[in-house]
Chain A
Amino acid sequence: MRRHLRPILLVAYVAAYGSFIAVTVAAPDALARPMPGGVNVAVAWGMGLILLAFVTAVASLAIPERER
């Protein structure tokens, strides 16, 4: 699992970022829907992508180093 963590993290982030762009382009009205807490999907998704970047960065510490 740890050996494959790098592509898994990359694909997961690309999926989250790519789907955000796809929804913005194809169905922007969906971004106006309210979320719990009172913010809309656009704000929650944008903040979520920033948070996910940090989580991904921390998770990348588990990737084995190929060379020292």
Chain B
Amino acid sequence: MHFSMSNFGLYEERIKHFDWSVAEKELEYRDGNVLNIGWYCSDRICLKGKGDKKALIYEGFGGINKEYTFNDIRIAGNVIGKFLRDLGIKSEDRVCLFMDRIPELYLSFLGALKIGAIVQPLFSAFGEESLFIRLENAQTRAIITQSKHLSKVRKIRDRLPNLEFIIIVDYATAKKLETREIVFSLDESAPVDNIEIYPAVAESPSVLHYTSGTTGQPKGVKHVHYSIIAQYLTTKWVLDLQDDDIYWCTADPGWVTGTSYGIIGPWSLGITQCILDAGFSAQAWYKFIEKNKITVWYSAPTAIRSLMKAGDEIVREFNLSSLRHLASVGEPLNSEAVIWSIKMFGKPFHDTFWQTETGCIMITNFPGMKVKPGSMGRLFPGITGAVLDPENYEPITEPGKIGLIAFRPGWPSMMRAYWNNEEKYREKFKNGWYLSGDRSSIDNEGYYWFIGRDDDVINTGGHLVSPFEVESALLEHPAVGESAVVAKPDEINMEVVKAFITLKPGFSPGPDLELEIMNFVRKKLSPLAMPQAVEFMDKLPKTRSGKIMRRLLHAKEWGEEIGDISTLEND
């Protein structure tokens, strides 16, 4: 396969006359038209004559393989949409997808959107408390899940009066169905060739992804169907997907990358994509690329660093010559990883920067453009960005000076609200700018250089973890008196969770208690939120007004200057 030119072309040309109408025209969308992502990702591709083209190549653990054409995913979306509609699910009802990366997850996404429901994808490794908080906040009406995750749902359903339907896609007869539980089998359902597609318009809500902040509970980021305009174009220009590509996005659709670029982007372009639903192993990943002749690979720095750790020899055992474009997202991609990928695959990983709230890639290293290893790249055309002075929220014009990464609102996939949380939403805007919460500098060629978060949120393996959420969970453990949670540096995951803990009277610190606390958080929240280190303290550093000085503990972990400690309590 030979590709002479990227979809993107020259940066200077693209930014000169840019308008989002480029994507609208290609998608044959006009202002005011019906715009339904579920239809665009399946029915429209079939109408374009690609119904027989492969849409999904799935491999589960243990050699389970399934393939679906675009016509198959169109019909499957109809089947699921009809099933939900027959239950009484209406437009804007929240339908949670709580599954591993099985085909039903991807197909339910289309089906729920086709009937106008709002899809709420959640990471299947979430523990019951993480699940409860998000379902309660969204007042979710139905959850689609697997037998293996049913016990978590059963533990919390009585506290969720709005959750009317618990739909199990792989029901095993050994288990007795309980209240509100319904069985659904895609394989055993009769095909549905046509259903009435919900006439969503640009501003109709589509997807609700949850993200964590420093304080308060996780926030539901509301997106709308018009987001497809930006997701389509960024997929085409940044990931450079072309008609005969075989694409692999390693992200889980429980997170925004897995929906924006693991479903909407590739399928709105009619691209074949591969899914590997198995745990990480370097050998399995390389084998998957070789077997499926993957050409475009979108992954994450944590995975890339894990592959680096597995060594160079194993790379040489596989024929990976099909790869032609590599990209990365989730956290800053260190220059060593870029240089390593050039050495091993003959091409660099292209870093991309964006967030749950932005819905699409905002800053990136474009195909064909000079990659500066360690840099996030340049702004996507149509995005107005800057780094702001944290004192007055005015753009910094001096190259190399650090400020807050901010964007002018108005791009198609920008979040429209935090679900039921207007106050938090407003806090994200200052002086007419959307504040990303990240800091960087910009060099004299317009390349952004990531510095770090502007708050206490922990970025572990590309996922944001709220210290507040972990501290709240810790306090529910019978031995924990007080806790403070900070990021700890980590070679593979960039940051991991560390907990400082004081114990209640009658409890003694020790390795067994440390393990018990780790597992307590893992099961309650998720493996990502589990403290990978616990330090027991006699007392936590506090201000004179009694507030825990998390900053001091963070500085200790990172070997940084402690700074002003004039407010530190001293007794």
A in complex with B: no
- B residues at A contact (CB < 8 Å): none
